[in-house]
Amino acid sequence: MSLARPSSDRDPHSILELPADKYTVGWICAIPVELRTARCFFDLEHGQLRSRPKHDENSYNLGRICGHNVVMICLPELGGVKAAVAAKSLQATFPNVRFWLMVGIGGGIPNPPEVDIRLGDIVVSIPTDEGSGVIQYDLGRMEAEEFCRKGALSKPPSLLLAAVRNLQSRSGVGNDISKILSEVDPVEDLEGDTQAQTYPTYLVDDLFRANYTHVKTDPACDCENGTNKANTIARRKRNHQNPRIHYGNIASGNMVVKNAAERDRLAKRDNVICFEMEAFGLMDDFPCLVIRGISDYSDSHKNYAWQSYASSVAAAYTKKLLNIVPPEEVAKLKPVRNNVHWISLHPVSPFFTGRKQILQTLKDKFCGNDENARELEHRRFVIYGMGGAGKSERKAGFPLYNAILHANTILSSFWGVFWVDASSTESIRRGFIDIVKTATAKSDVTFENAKAWIENQAEKWLLIFDNADDPNIDYFKFLPSGERSCILMTTRNDDCKIYGSESTGYEKSEELEFPDAVELLLKTAKAEKNPHNLEVAQILVGDEVLAQHTLSIVHAGAFIRQGLCRLDEYASMFEAQRARLLSQRPYQANSVYGDVYATFEVSAKAIKVSHELEAKDALELLQVLAYFHREAVSEDLFTRAWDHALDPRQCFPSAPENEIGNLSLWHSERLCRFLRSSSSTKELDIFSMRRARNVLLSFSLINVHPDTYDISMHPLVHTWARDRLEAEMQNEAWSTAAATLSLSIDSFSYQDYFNSIQPHVDSNISLRPKDSFLARNWNTLEICRMFLRFAWMLHHQHNGTGTLSLLDLISSLQCPEIPPNSLNGRHILFIYAGCHHELGNFNEQLRLVEEVVSFDCNTFEPENIFRLNAQTNLGLALIEQRKYPEAIEILEGVVRILQDILHPGDESLLVSQHVLARAYIENKQLEKAIQLLEEVVQIKERILAPTHPKRLVSQHELARAYYRFGQYQRARPILQEVVRIKEETSEANHPDRIMSEGALAVVVSAIERPEEAAEKRKWRQERRARLNERARRGESEERSDWEEENTDGLLESSQSGDDSTVGEAFKGLEVSGGKRSTAMRIRRRWDSLKHLGSRRRAKTRAM
């Protein structure tokens, strides 16, 4: 029987118009040439539909093939997601479509003689032992050794598989296809010329070797004229021109394969015989069969010459297949979409990406085991999370809504799917009324009647209760019940978790998975997926620019897509115009809330309308958090600040009113904006603060660690919390945050607490108002008091550069209460001196500390602690100048006085004793140094934690004294313990850790090679004597930062040492201990520190 279209059907007067529900077969083409050839196989073309859903943007070709009413579409763009979007829209318009046929061209995977695929052959997707017919070859996980493919797509429908097996069993099918092609009308090519759809004898079918790459500029590589036989693979000549039909797995993925080596690798790994790009988007959610005509060999010689014929043979096979599938059997199949009602105001997004976990969660909650009837009764599932993260956004590729639209297994489980905007009581009532009006065509409907209509339905239905954010609405009053009801509530208010039913519960909507976020950015920006763009996209979505936040990614993509900037320009533009970019609204695929900032502002407005006290406190707390670092804001910070605020002058209670070292009521009063005292005492009302915190948490504006109660914020919420404020409010919020931080620093001594607060201080300083504003608009003394605390904290953290910057800032503010020759000015100079010591600028350190000591001698009594501390620092500066006798004389006097006026565990006394011991070491008075350091270490081990830096530095110094005295065995266990602790508490490149590791290497080397160590020790002592004599005569000598100043190879903590000696120790450690990897690791870090020190020295000299 001929399958060609009857000539009478070409009469234009015979065109029929059928309603949409009469069509049962969907036919999808990926490119126009496939559709051009496919339309030739209609037995009868039908007219277009008179009406269709508002948001269906597909263009349809309708007709009849072998008794089946078929709807054809061509995708607007290539790719599986585009196929899924188009199929979803088609499904909504043609509700009775039973299955899909994906018909067009593909890239063959030849493997002669086993799989002798030629251009113009046909590949049909049928299951094998290795796959279900279509394999998504790029879906999986990159593991340590190889890529592991994950998941399996659905098989084609049984009815179609049976028909394929029928054809597979017949002989002469290829000949039948050639006959069909000879009887259909010619088609126009791209130039407008008509050409028959028979085998193109004028084209060349050459299979090139896999290692032979096409070169466009090489005339020898002419793929179309058949002259380059030297690089082709010889194949047995066929004695006919009929297409062969191959059956097996088709590889489907997101990229075009034009690489023969990669083609062969994937073919071997997955046992596939053809490549294409659309089927993976259909197979899981739509019953589908894939039929591909081979137009190329998936190598670099790919061209368009064979596409028309390959499309034709695929379409001819499809027509022959439909001819043996009875239309009445097709009618018995379940429609792809079996919803009687689908009521939603929004279309499917073309940018939908990823979120497989959300799909699985929804399937588990609503489409799980139906055997237990009670389990089906009234399921309510709540998804809550930050605004713009993709819970409820219905456009622009947002995950939850589009996950449902893309998941046919979810949709097909319900008799009806409805959507209600739950942002207000009015929108809820209107939503229910609109549902019933649409479903029943009734015009006079009340909310009560509409709710009762939904509740009384016996079939299983899904209600999407969207944007349920208002904390003042009792949503239980509006949620319908029903024996087979399912309700999905989306909210940013985590208090709404209570609406989840016992069997389904709730789940937090997290940020996009990193690969999905990258893919979404590239899609929305319409950026080519090349290595450069992929790298840029990974950086953008991974850092604080986009931070894997769905709405911000989509808006960034829209900004780029509109040609306002390139993908690789967005980061720098974001830095300069952050608020403008995050307030940008794309013209297409816009969010229901508009821009990124607007979606966060919805939460802020919901908090603001509340009249509860904790709501007001929450907004004040939000402002303060905006000027801390966005992570790990501890409760301890607030409790410390509150305790200090009760007595802000506690550091120096007897000092003058304008003492810069004290804080004041100006700072304390700022805490009262968001912190409160308990009703009965002056202590902090911690529960009030937690209630305010929980308000922010309930709207997903912050996260709270369940164990530590530490607060963290998403990067974009953190920037929004600042940018939403007017300029004056920004300055007030900054000052409140700065006051809170400074009040939490209740002492100028080192505290472990400094480690946790430093990121917040750094962030607050970087976000401060302009210095001119600080000086003009506020009491500069109060600002300088805060900066002084910050400077001390940074100084204790060995951040010399940061400390110096803050001190320069204090000086630039020209505070009237800090004149040059004043007590406050003296305090600034004192820290300046310590800062220059930290930076290794010892001459400047000596000059400054001498100026401080001179001021102290004219101002304070000899027993004054300020004066004694300055003299200790003068002794330290003299040690750095190699003036050891002078240093010892000053330090011994200081220690004698401190021993008379302070208890043995006082910090000032211990510091002075430590510095004196160091002077003894440098002056070769080792027995005195050891005796003094043993006392210091014994006290510090009793009063300080094992990880305290000042305990560790004295232990290190004691080990150095033992080493200098030749007592290596006593030095080793001390250094081993110090290194162990520093390895647990410090980064690998921390200078103190590297020094201690290097010192331990020197000691181990000395123990294992004592004769060599003795010789070096003698040489170093002689060299030290020469240097000391030079210093005594006043002959200065320029020293590099890494010249050995201890001349003994064992470095003092945080000081410089002999690089060559330590290098020898590393070699010894390698040879004697066999720990080459450990030694080399320390060696590399040592060299890195050496380079850093040289640069630091050069910088400070320039200053």
Quick one: pLDDT band at residue 53, thresholds 50, 70, 90?
A: low
Residues 213 and 121 in one domain: yes
Output the six-digit token pair for 242: 């009929």
Quick one: pLDDT band at residue 975, thresholds 50, 70, 90?
A: very high
Evaluate if residue 13 carries a pLDDT over 60: no
Residues 136 and 242 in one domain: yes
Q: Mean pLDDT across the stretch 465-494?
A: 81
Q: DSSP letters along 198-224, please? A: S--TTS----B-TT----TT-TT--TT
Quick one: pLDDT band at residue 510, thresholds 50, 70, 90?
A: low
pLDDT, tens only, 916-958 = 999 999 898 999 999 999 999 999 999 988 988 889 999 999 9
Evaluate if residue 1075 carries a pLDDT over 50: no
Residue ending a domain, among 269, 301, 332, is 332
pLDDT, tens only, 465-479 = 887 877 778 888 888
Q: Where are the beta strands (DSSP E) in 923-1025?
A: none
Evaluate if residue 341 carries a pLDDT over 60: no
Evaluate if residue 757 carries a pLDDT over 70: yes
Quick one: pLDDT band at residue 522, thresholds 50, 70, 90?
A: confident
pLDDT, tens only, 247-294 = 998 888 877 888 888 888 888 888 889 998 877 767 666 788 999 999
Evaluate if residue 678 carries a pLDDT over 50: yes
Q: Cα-flanking dihedrals φ and ψ of residue 502, to 5°? A: -60, -35
> 419 with 344: CB under 8 angstroms?
yes
> Which region among 96-100, 176-180, 517-521 has the lowest average model confidence (pLDDT)?
517-521
pLDDT, tens only, 595-625 = 556 666 767 777 887 778 888 899 999 999 9
- Residue % of the chain over a pLDDT of 90: 22
Is position 688 within any domain? no
Residues 483 and 531 in one domain: no
Is position 678 within any domain? no
Evaluate if residue 1065 carries a pLDDT over 70: no
Residue ending a domain, among 549, 576, 599, is 599
pLDDT at position 142 is 60
Is position 1091 within any domain? yes
Is position 683 within any domain? no
pLDDT at position 555 is 61
Residues 237 and 317 in one domain: yes
Residues 503 and 520 in one domain: no
Distances (CA, A) of 877 to 886, 1051, 1098: 10, 17, 19
pLDDT at position 999 is 86
Report the DSSP beta bridge partners of residue 735: none
Is position 224 within any domain? yes
Give the sign of the dihedral formed by CA 469, CA 472, CA 478, CA 483. positive
Single-letter amino acid code for the residue at 992 = D
pLDDT, tens only, 565-578 = 777 776 666 555 55
Is position 861 within any domain? no
Q: How many domains does the chain have?
A: 4
Q: Mean pLDDT across the stretch 813-828?
A: 87
57-74 exposure pattern, b = at least 16 Cβ within 10 A, e = fewer: ebebbbbbbbebbbbbbb
Q: Mean pLDDT across the stretch 1095-1100?
A: 38
Q: How many C-beta neighbours within 10 Å does residue 665 have?
A: 11
Residues 499 and 521 in one domain: no
Residues 41 and 96 in one domain: yes
CB-based contacts of 788-791 (< 8 A; 24+ apart in sequence)? 788/660, 788/661, 788/827, 788/828, 788/831, 789/663, 789/741, 789/742, 789/745, 789/748, 790/741, 790/742, 790/745, 790/761, 790/764, 790/765, 791/831
Rounded Cα gap, residues 167 and 337, in angstroms? 29
Rounded Cα gap, residues 552 and 574, in angstroms? 11
Domain holding 429: CATH number? 3.40.50.300
pLDDT at position 931 is 94
- Residue % of the chain over a pLDDT of 70: 73
pLDDT at position 1099 is 36
pLDDT at position 815 is 86
Residues near 102 by Cβ (< 8 Å), separated by ≥ 6? 28, 30, 83, 276, 278, 279, 282, 288, 289, 290, 291
pLDDT at position 183 is 86
pLDDT, tens only, 385-434 = 655 444 444 333 334 444 454 445 556 667 778 888 888 888 888 888 88
> Which region among 106-115, 119-128, 797-806, 1094-1103 has the lowest average model confidence (pLDDT)?
1094-1103
Summary mean pLDDT of the chain: 77
pLDDT, tens only, 949-960 = 889 999 999 999
Q: Mean pLDDT across the stretch 124-148?
A: 74
Residues 356 and 309 in one domain: no
Q: Mean pLDDT across the stretch 1065-1090?
A: 42
Evaluate if residue 1060 carries a pLDDT over 60: no
Residue ending a domain, among 550, 579, 599, is 599
Range(s) of the domain holding residue 567: 514-599
Q: Cα-flanking dihedrals φ and ψ of residue 375, to 5°? A: -65, -20
Q: Mean pLDDT across the stretch 833-854?
A: 90
Any idea which residue has 């290539």 for tokens? Answer: 78
Residues 472 and 530 in one domain: no
pLDDT at position 371 is 42
pLDDT at position 7 is 47
Evaluate if residue 582 carries a pLDDT over 60: no
Residues 306 and 354 in one domain: no
Quick one: pLDDT band at residue 1047, thresholds 50, 70, 90?
A: very low
pLDDT at position 93 is 81
Residues near 563 by Cβ (< 8 Å), separated by ≥ 6? none
For the ranges 440-449, 720-729, 961-970, the one whose mean pLDDT is highest: 961-970
Is position 1090 within any domain? yes
Is position 888 within any domain? no
Evaluate if residue 547 carries a pLDDT over 80: no
pLDDT at position 101 is 92
Stronger pLDDT, 428 or 580, i.e. the higher one: 428
Residues 325 and 371 in one domain: no
Q: Mean pLDDT across the stretch 323-340?
A: 78
Stronger pLDDT, 699 or 943, i.e. the higher one: 943
Domain holding 95: CATH number? 3.40.50.1580
Strands 485-491 and 379-384 come out as: parallel
> Which region among 303-317, 333-347, 949-963 has the lowest average model confidence (pLDDT)?
333-347
pLDDT at position 431 is 87
Rounded Cα gap, residues 845 and 871, in angstroms? 13
pLDDT, tens only, 217-228 = 555 456 666 666
Evaluate if residue 11 carries a pLDDT over 80: no
Rounded Cα gap, residues 7 and 862, in angstroms? 119
Residues 294 and 369 in one domain: no
Evaluate if residue 132 carries a pLDDT over 70: yes
pLDDT at position 67 is 92
Q: Mean pLDDT across the stretch 141-159?
A: 67
Quick one: pLDDT band at residue 1073, thresholds 50, 70, 90?
A: very low
- Bond from prior residue into 113 cis (ω within 30 degrees of 0): yes
3-class secondary structure, 507: strand
Quick one: pLDDT band at residue 2, thresholds 50, 70, 90?
A: low
Distances (CA, A) of 202 to 195, 224, 234, 255, 306: 12, 10, 19, 30, 11
Rg (CA), the chain: 39
pLDDT at position 234 is 84
CB-based contacts of 184-191 (< 8 A; 24+ apart in sequence)? 184/4, 184/5, 184/40, 184/41, 184/312, 184/316, 185/5, 185/40, 187/36, 187/37, 187/40, 187/308, 187/312, 188/36, 189/308, 190/33
Residues near 706 by Cβ (< 8 Å), separated by ≥ 6? none
Evaluate if residue 750 carries a pLDDT over 70: yes
